[in-house]
């Protein structure tokens, strides 16, 4: 017999519940949804310093390839020439992004912390208002050793209090099939901390756990291979499969992608431009729906709400935990300002967002 107790939590991109957390994940990879004005605003207002090693170069290699891809009308984009250009200094109207600004990556503590302090204390970097670090492969080991908090989360929070006019972007590590349990636990620990404490998160691991069609791969590796289980056989490579069934320079573009496939770097670039746009003030998520009601019958759960002005669509998120682990729930169907899905056997918590 099916039984489920359902609760509804409503918030705007974790805003009203968790304090304005910005979570950039696989749900933020549709580059066509970012308005031109938001891209221009990011270029006008952000001065970014990025520290990383090889895995982190997927973001910037993807960003570089995106320039010509967009110029050629890939994905149907019709934007001014070189709108996605970037360089150190922001010359010629480009985004100001200092790549490899600080040596190493955030797996090396206290070096990454000290390098950040030295960089920001240099008067020539007084305009920098965004700091972003990536991992290489150490997030698993930090978690296993019990130092992920003391050598990453706490130092990041200290930097935020020391430099209140700088946005510090947290990041999950890349997926690692060969250390699956520690990898998943470490990335979830970072994710939960950011959601609960209202941080800015670029969810590297979530982006490479889904293909562009929204298919989730529970046991992926950083090269986009996916497996049947922790110890099961290799089933394929989601990136090459998708690339082979779609048209290069129309649906995706070739670019550098350290340890991985071009499509992975494509999606990392799309997501990081969502990050830049949201840091510059673009609010892709509108105010939370109101007058939300929930009902159930023997087979389905139904959620209804009032229309939100300016909304073009809505998203429903669910979790078995009221405080974390929310993911977009694609099991149901929408009909205007209502959503329904088959009832399950476990208690779930929901919230609804409006999207413009």
Q: What is the pLDDT of residues 258-316, one digit of tens each?
A: 999 999 999 999 999 999 999 998 976 667 788 888 888 888 999 999 998 878 888 88
User: Chain centroid to CA 8: how far?
Assistant: 24
Residue 9 domain-assigned?
no
Claim to verify: residue 53 and residue 151 sit in the same structural domain: yes
- pLDDT level of residue 20 (50, 70, 90 thresholds): low
* 231 in any annotated domain: yes
**DSSP designation for 202:** E
Inter-residue contact 200 to 168 (CB < 8 Å): yes
Query: Residue 97 pLDDT > 50, yes or no?
Result: yes
How far apart CA 135 and CA 132 sit, in angstroms, is: 10
Q: Compute the C-alpha angle 161/166/169, nearest 5°.
A: 90
Regarding whether 340 and 268 lie in a shared domain, the answer is no
Residue 6 lies inside a defined structural domain of this protein: no
Q: Determine whether 142 is exposed, middle or buried from the number of CB atoms within 10 Å of its CB (0-12, 13-18, 19+).
A: buried
In a shared domain, residues 291 and 267: no
Residues 339, 195 share a domain: no
Query: Does 18 score more than 60 pLDDT?
Result: no
pLDDT for residue 319:
84
Against a cut of 0.85, is the pTM above it?
no
Instruction: Identify whether 239 is part of a domain.
Output: yes
CA-based Rg of the chain, rounded to a whole angstrom? 20
pLDDT of residue 284: 67
Residue 292 burial (C-beta neighbours within 10 Å; 0-12, 13-18, 19+): middle
Regarding whether 202 and 265 lie in a shared domain, the answer is: yes
Binned at pLDDT 50, 70 and 90, residue 245 comes out as very high
- Is residue 216 located within the same domain as residue 131? yes
Q: Are residues 183 and 137 in the same domain?
A: yes
> Do 242 and 291 belong together in one domain?
no
Asked if the structure places residue 26 within a domain, the reply is no
Start-to-end Cα distance in the chain = 39
The answer as to whether 5 is a domain residue is no
Q: pLDDT, tens digit, for every residue of 29-71? A: 999 999 999 999 999 999 999 999 999 999 999 999 999 999 9
Verify that 169 and 205 share a domain, yes or no. Answer: yes
173 belongs to a structural domain: yes
Give the SS3 label for residue 222.
coil
What is the rounded average pLDDT for all residues in the chain? 91
CATH number at residue 311: 2.60.40.10
Q: Are residues 198 and 301 in the same domain?
A: no
Q: Is the pLDDT of residue 10 over 70?
A: no
Please check whether residues 76 and 109 belong to one and the same domain.
Answer: yes
Residues 325, 219, single domain; the answer is no
CATH number at residue 206: 3.40.50
What are the structure tokens assigned to 128, written together? 């920098």
Cα separation of 101 and 67, whole Å?
21
User: Between 57-71 and 262-279, two packed helices, what is the crossing angle to 10 degrees?
Assistant: 90
Q: Are residues 160 and 168 in contact, defined by beta-carbon separation less than 8 angstroms? A: yes
pLDDT per position as a tens digit, 176-232: 999 999 999 999 999 999 988 989 999 999 999 999 999 999 999 999 999 999 999
- How far is residue 280's CA from residue 20's CA, in Å, rounded to a whole number? 14
Residues of the domain holding 340:
286-355
Helix (H, G, I), strand (E, B) or coil at 236: strand
pLDDT higher than 60, residue 19: no
Number of structural domains in the chain: 2
């Amino acid at each position: 017999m099916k039984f489920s107790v359902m609760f509804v939590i409503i918030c705007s991109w974790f805003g009203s519940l968790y304090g304005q957390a910005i979570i950039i994940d696989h749900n933020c990879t549709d580059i066509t949804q970012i308005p031109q004005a938001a891209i221009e605003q990011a270029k006008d207002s952000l001065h970014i310093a990025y520290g990383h090693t090889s895995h982190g170069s997927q973001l910037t290699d993807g960003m570089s390839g995106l320039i010509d891809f967009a110029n050629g009308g890939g994905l149907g984009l019709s934007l001014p020439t070189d709108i996605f250009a970037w360089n150190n200094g922001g010359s010629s109207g480009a985004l100001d992004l200092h790549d490899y600004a600080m040596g190493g990556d955030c797996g090396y503590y206290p070096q990454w912390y000290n390098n950040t302090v030295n960089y920001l204390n240099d008067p020539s970097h007084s305009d920098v208002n965004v700091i972003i670090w990536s991992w290489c492969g150490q997030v698993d080991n930090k978690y296993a050793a019990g130092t992920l908090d003391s050598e990453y989360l706490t130092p990041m929070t200290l930097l935020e209090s020391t430099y209140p006019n700088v946005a510090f972007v947290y990041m999950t590590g890349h997926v690692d099939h060969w250390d699956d349990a520690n990898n998943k636990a470490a990335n979830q620990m970072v994710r939960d901390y950011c959601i609960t404490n209202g941080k800015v998160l670029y969810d590297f691991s979530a982006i490479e756990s889904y293909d562009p069609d929204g298919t989730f791969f529970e046991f992926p590796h950083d090269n986009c291979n996916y497996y049947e289980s922790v110890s099961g056989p290799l089933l394929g490579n989601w990136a090459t499969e998708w690339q082979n069934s779609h048209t290069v320079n129309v649906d995706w573009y070739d670019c550098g992608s350290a340890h991985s496939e071009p499509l992975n770097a494509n999606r990392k670039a799309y997501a990081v431009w969502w990050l830049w746009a949201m840091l510059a003030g673009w609010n892709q998520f509108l105010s939370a729906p109101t007058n939300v009601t929930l009902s159930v019958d023997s087979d389905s759960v139904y959620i209804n709400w009032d229309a939100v002005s300016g909304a073009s669509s809505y998203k429903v998120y669910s979790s078995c935990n009221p405080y974390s682990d929310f993911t977009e729930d694609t099991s149901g169907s929408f009909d205007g300002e209502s959503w329904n899905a088959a009832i399950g056997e476990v208690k779930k918590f929901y919230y609804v967002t409006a999207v413009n």
